[in-house]
Amino acid sequence: MKRLKIAVEGIASAGYDALCAVLELEFLSDGQIWQFYDVPECVWYEWRKTEAAVSFFHTNIAGKYHAKLIGNAMD
């Protein structure tokens, strides 16, 4: 999945696959890359346009959707 570089505190890049409803995030702190499954497209768009992206992530994504660690950008 292609991820876009994101200028958001704590997140290095993010991508979304609308066909599979998968959100993919690379975290700055440790380089971990996580996929979140069954994330509605509207959540992706809301997250992209919010000014409080980290807060939105913790409130609306983390713990709400099944997630899997898929890699580490620092490896």
pLDDT in tens, the chain (75 residues): 788 787 677 888 999 999 999 999 998 888 899 999 999 999 999 998 888 888 899 999 999 999 999 999 877
Q: Say what the pTM is.
A: 0.89
Domain span including residue 23: 4-72
d(CA 55, CA 57): 5
Instruction: Give yes or no for a contact between 44 and 35, defined as CB atoms under 8 angstroms apart.
Output: no
Give the H/E segment covering residue 49: helix 41-49
Residue whose token pair is 């099944």:
66
DSSP class of 2: -
Domains in the chain, number? 1
